[in-house]
A and B are shown apart, each in its own frame.
Chain A
Amino acid sequence: MAVTDSLSRAATVLATVLLLSFGSVAASHIEDQAEQFFRSGHTNNWAVLVCTSRFWFNYRHVANTLSVYRSVKRLGIPDSHIVLMLADDMACNPRNPKPATVFSHKNMELNVYGDDVEVDYRSYEVTVENFLRVLTGRIPPSTPRSKRLLSDDRSNILIYMTGHGGNGFLKFQDSEEITNIELADAFEQMWQKRRYNELLFIIDTCQGASMYERFYSPNIMALASSQVGEDSLSHQPDPAIGVHLMDRYTFYVLEFLEEINPASQTNMNDLFQVCPKSLCVSTPGHRTDLFQRDPKNVLITDFFGSVRKVEITTETIKLQQDSEIMESSYKEDQMDEKLMEPLKYAEQLPVAQIIHQKPKLKDWHPPGGFILGLWALIIMVFFKTYGIKHMKFIF
């Protein structure tokens, strides 16, 4: 009996221990899941996509930016979180044989312009000053919301730039340049103002690697399409449109991104392998020393997509309709109708009124500046010539 007792007790103890361990395993499983929730450390995603060249023969830069825009939108980042800057309007350019379209593949396979593109900065507004103001947040108060980068310290930002560049600079619209030092300083300002959690910088220009050489702020990962001394080449011309449609690096990046969906687990190391020298002719480069996480743990969707973490609850919430407010506003309306006197439309071209207008008297302003100085000079000369004794007759 004692044996069975002890056995049963042992069995129960064992059972409870097992149960507890299961429970803790299950609990730790949920905790693991919860841990994974916050693994990457960011809560929202932003994208700043910049095309810096104008004129028709730089069609490919606009197509580059629009194809990245399209991928980023498809993977979940909404228009309100994308700042798209295009320096020229290719879709409505009079030289475009297919208006309202921008193609990225020859034979007009893929129209990256689409029906719902929202360009935030366009044409003459794409300047170095505006770009730096967007990044650092020092924007005039009248700027509308869609033109601002409203990121916080939990935002992952993707910055994509394309255009013509050289060793240490990127040309904006054929009239000004941004240097790698300015860009690095802008990122440092963003870091000090805590405007980003992690930043991915991609640049597709000639000698693009020179642009990320000077970065010194933490949590920045950078990719470039070519090393210093190399040119980034364009991909394929289209005989119907007459210009080159895309750059090689971005073309292969776009192909890579077309296979990503919001749930994919592809990491940054795969992105580094995109476009080897055999396809790209130039050598793409990357820089990860400032980045704290290991690139193989960084998902592509951490920057290119906006994967929302959702919590599902099973409680229902009832919404009440407030009928008293509606009733009172209608009553007010009916009362107001009786009080106003009738209105009438203005005349379309009141010729008689126009002809007999009296010129409005302008407000009198006291003379200032030049006129005042001139008169002071004249008076001074007069009194010096004719003597001060005339003063009492004047004043």
Chain B
Amino acid sequence: MAAAMPLALLVLLLLGPGGWCLAEPPRDSLREELVITPLPSGDVAATFQFRTRWDSELQREGVSHYRLFPKALGQLISKYSLRELHLSFTQGFWRTRYWGPPFLQAPSVWINLGRSSVMSSQGSSAPLSTSSTPPTQSLPLPPSNPWVWPMTLTTTFCAMLCCRGRWSAPKTSPPGRSSCPVVPRASLISFHLLQAGLSVLLKADRLFHTSYHSQAVHIRPVCRNARCTSISWELRQTLSVVFDAFITGQGKKDWSLFRMFSRTLTEPCPLASESRVYVDITTYNQDNETLEVHPPPTTTYQDVILGTRKTYAIYDLLDTAMINNSRNLNIQLKWKRPPENEAPPVPFLHAQRYVSGYGLQKGELSTLLYNTHPYRAFPVLLLDTVPWYLRLYVHTLTITSKGKENKPSYIHYQPAQDRLQPHLLEMLIQLPANSVTKVSIQFERALLKWTEYTPDPNHGFYVSPSVLSALVPSMVAAKPVDWEESPLFNSLFPVSDGSNYFVRLYTEPLLVNLPTPDFSMPYNVICLTCTVVAVCYGSFYNLLTRTFHIEEPRTGGLAKRLANLIRRARGVPPL
């Protein structure tokens, strides 16, 4: 008895702190996921998502211990009172017409942040849109210097964001949200990731050799539980790549992980609570003869994604049976029968944008919005941020659908201020069913100051893509998303109402030439005038002042020459 007591005490002591540790939920968790989707045009899209969820209220408590959530981002959020941060860098263009709507939409560069003060930015496209609640204490940032936190972004993500000017606040977003138009020239040079789990596949030399790749970071608050009494912070790091099948597959549309990434999966990330690969096999289920996936999947997942019902094969890396069979997992897909060359299905909403006109004085900016739904009309929110050096004439704004004029339900225009703020044009347009809507506006090109031109001005200047946001009606009703159970690609832009899904599209960024001066002209002018002055004035001067002397031929030796020298010095005529 006496011995049992201390033993029991000992056991209690051991279990005490241990039990306490087990009772409290994990503070942060990491889920990683790779979705491979064959696109209608034959290319293959691979989307990586790494989601870190952190149950902490950054704004209110002072946090000092960071585990999975990066410290740099956590400090950024708490210091500048950000509510949401969306930052993405994209190279290439997502062809909505041929590839369908993307899971993760991103223009050339899109930065989306939230601040309570309104700032607007110029020209280059990196849509920085942020929304935040007004902070309870005073802003740490002096209003004269709104560039501090974008600067910290540039170093955190090792990129260059050329934003000159202030941010603009679109009216339709919740108060406090400001956005900066896309920065087309911000280039992301390199990214460092731990080489374990799915990130083993991320090697720069294969990933940059693609038709489209986009890296993004999304930080936003999510509900911690179903009652939503407190929030936790969610960090999603995503990477979307589109491989051109004809380059990687040598003419056939088969693909495999090794062929795309030159690597295979070996083990799950030890820090991840979930590590899965989803492969879109929608065509597989309809007809077993079309394609073959190897290794055969053990489970499938079916859901309504972006309005259509899709089936995915799941490969769970945490499932020991999956990895133990072979030391590495190389998922392959082979087409047994070549797919019929039918036209790829057209998405319900896609858009196109171009500049027309001739010369360097004026032009016209046109956006074509296609609604291919046979009977449903839906509204689209069009946000255009045009740099100040393209002076828009809003009285020339025309919106036509099916030949008739279409008046927008809501229009907001904020004119540009030279060198300070770009034009902001926001419209809510109702797209009639099965129609093409053309939005066009004329502009005039401005002349910049000499020092404002970039070192390569003849390349042209970029105009940020227009942003289209719409709730597109879906063909199949979807059920609301369960944040923890559903795969990550379903919960990035979750459906709030099953009859439609939210889509944000970006048009092409445009390149316009401004009237560029010839920078060698000052040099040419200086050379020419100096030559003319030298020739004319110089000849005239010579004519007036040149005199001729007769020179005696030199006779005599050295002594005579020396004597002449001395005589010349004395001022006496020579011998």
Enumerate chain A interface residues (CB-CB to B < 8 A): 54-55, 89, 91-92, 98-101, 115-119, 122-125, 141-147, 173-175, 329-330, 332, 336-338, 340-349, 351, 354-355, 357
A115–B536 alpha-carbon span in the complex (Å): 62
Question: Count the A-B residue pairs with Cβ separation under 8 angstroms: how many?
Answer: 113
* Interface: B209 (CB within 8 A): yes
Are B61 and A329 in contact, CB atoms less than 8 angstroms apart? Answer: yes
* Chain A neighbourhood of B26, CB < 8 A: none
* Interface: B523 (CB within 8 A): no
* Chain A neighbourhood of B471, CB < 8 A: 348-349, 351
* Chain A neighbourhood of B189, CB < 8 A: 89, 91-92, 117, 119, 122
* Chain A neighbourhood of B229, CB < 8 A: 337-338, 340-343
Identify which of B154-162, B265-273, B321-329, B510-518 touches chain A. B154-162
- Excluding A115-B192, A345-B496, 5 further A-B contacts by CB distance (< 8 Å) are A99-B205, A99-B208, A115-B190, A123-B185, A351-B409
A54–B185 alpha-carbon span in the complex (Å): 14
Nearest A residue to B141 via CB reads: A142
A54–B454 alpha-carbon span in the complex (Å): 12
- Residue from A118, A332, A349 in contact with B470 in the complex, judged by beta carbons closer than 8 Å: A349
CB distance from B193 to the nearest CB of A (A): 10
* Interface: B24 (CB within 8 A): yes
Can you give 6 contacting A-B residue pairs, CB < 8 Å?
A100-B208, A122-B160, A144-B151, A338-B229, A343-B229, A357-B171
* Chain B neighbourhood of A357, CB < 8 A: 171-172, 410
Are B91 and A92 in contact, CB atoms less than 8 angstroms apart? Answer: yes
Are A143 and B151 in contact, CB atoms less than 8 angstroms apart? Answer: yes
* Chain A neighbourhood of B152, CB < 8 A: 144
CB distance from B469 to the nearest CB of A (A): 6
Nearest A residue to B148 via CB reads: A142
A332–B456 alpha-carbon span in the complex (Å): 57
* Interface: B7 (CB within 8 A): no
Are A117 and B154 in contact, CB atoms less than 8 angstroms apart? Answer: no
Are B174 and A354 in contact, CB atoms less than 8 angstroms apart? Answer: no
* Interface: B42 (CB within 8 A): no
Nearest B residue to A174 via CB reads: B455
Q: Would A100 and B155 be within 8 Å (CB), given that A92-B189, A117-B190, A330-B24 are in contact?
A: no
A338–B209 alpha-carbon span in the complex (Å): 52
A62–B496 alpha-carbon span in the complex (Å): 50
A144–B152 alpha-carbon span in the complex (Å): 6
Nearest A residue to B55 via CB reads: A333
A332–B209 alpha-carbon span in the complex (Å): 50
* Interface: B489 (CB within 8 A): no
Are B174 and A346 in contact, CB atoms less than 8 angstroms apart? Answer: yes
- B522-561: CB near A (< 8 Å → 1, else 0) gives 0000000000000000000000000000000000000000
Are A354 and B61 in contact, CB atoms less than 8 angstroms apart? Answer: no
Are A142 and B151 in contact, CB atoms less than 8 angstroms apart? Answer: yes
* Chain B neighbourhood of A347, CB < 8 A: 496
- Residue from B205, B223, B470 in contact with A100 in the complex, judged by beta carbons closer than 8 Å: B205
* Chain A neighbourhood of B227, CB < 8 A: 342
The A-contacting residues of B in range 122-180, CB under 8 angstroms, are: 145, 147-148, 151-152, 154-155, 158, 160, 162, 171-172, 174
Enumerate chain B interface residues (CB-CB to A < 8 A): 24, 57, 60-61, 91, 145, 147-148, 151-152, 154-155, 158, 160, 162, 171-172, 174, 185, 187, 189-190, 192, 204-205, 207-209, 223, 227-231, 379, 381, 409-410, 428, 454-456, 469-471, 493, 496, 502, 519
Are A124 and B428 in contact, CB atoms less than 8 angstroms apart? Answer: no
Are A147 and B230 in contact, CB atoms less than 8 angstroms apart? Answer: no
A145–B148 alpha-carbon span in the complex (Å): 12
CB distance from A69 to the nearest CB of B (A): 13
* Chain A neighbourhood of B428, CB < 8 A: 351, 354-355
- Residue from B24, B158, B455 in contact with A173 in the complex, judged by beta carbons closer than 8 Å: B455
- Residue from A99, A332, A343, A346 in contact with B228 in the complex, judged by beta carbons closer than 8 Å: A343
A357–B409 alpha-carbon span in the complex (Å): 11
Are A144 and B230 in contact, CB atoms less than 8 angstroms apart? Answer: no
Are B145 and A144 in contact, CB atoms less than 8 angstroms apart? Answer: no
Nearest A residue to B154 via CB reads: A144
* Chain A neighbourhood of B379, CB < 8 A: 349, 351
CB distance from B283 to the nearest CB of A (A): 30
* Chain A neighbourhood of B410, CB < 8 A: 354-355, 357
- Residue from A91, A116, A124 in contact with B162 in the complex, judged by beta carbons closer than 8 Å: A124
A124–B145 alpha-carbon span in the complex (Å): 21
Most buried by B among A101, A122, A145: A122
A337–B147 alpha-carbon span in the complex (Å): 36
* Chain B neighbourhood of A336, CB < 8 A: 57, 60, 230
* Chain B neighbourhood of A175, CB < 8 A: 455, 519
* Chain A neighbourhood of B154, CB < 8 A: 144
CB distance from B114 to the nearest CB of A (A): 12
A336–B59 alpha-carbon span in the complex (Å): 13
Most buried by A among B152, B192, B410, B469: B410
* Chain B neighbourhood of A119, CB < 8 A: 158, 189
Nearest B residue to A350 via CB reads: B172
Are A100 and B158 in contact, CB atoms less than 8 angstroms apart? Answer: no
Are B162 and A142 in contact, CB atoms less than 8 angstroms apart? Answer: no
Q: Would A348 and B496 be within 8 Å (CB), given that A354-B381, A355-B409 are in contact?
A: yes
A373–B77 alpha-carbon span in the complex (Å): 46
* Chain B neighbourhood of A345, CB < 8 A: 223, 496
* Chain B neighbourhood of A99, CB < 8 A: 205, 208-209
* Chain B neighbourhood of A117, CB < 8 A: 189-190
Q: Would A354 and B172 be within 8 Å (CB), given that A100-B205, A124-B455, A125-B160 are in contact?
A: yes
- The 3 A-B pairs of least Cβ separation, nearest first, read A99-B208, A144-B155, A100-B208
A344–B226 alpha-carbon span in the complex (Å): 10
Are B187 and A92 in contact, CB atoms less than 8 angstroms apart? Answer: yes
CB distance from A140 to the nearest CB of B (A): 8
* Chain B neighbourhood of A346, CB < 8 A: 174
CB distance from A47 to the nearest CB of B (A): 18
* Chain B neighbourhood of A351, CB < 8 A: 379, 409, 428, 471
A145–B57 alpha-carbon span in the complex (Å): 28
Are A344 and B190 in contact, CB atoms less than 8 angstroms apart? Answer: no
Q: Would A142 and B502 be within 8 Å (CB), given that A119-B158, A124-B162, A124-B455 are in contact?
A: no
CB distance from B229 to the nearest CB of A (A): 5
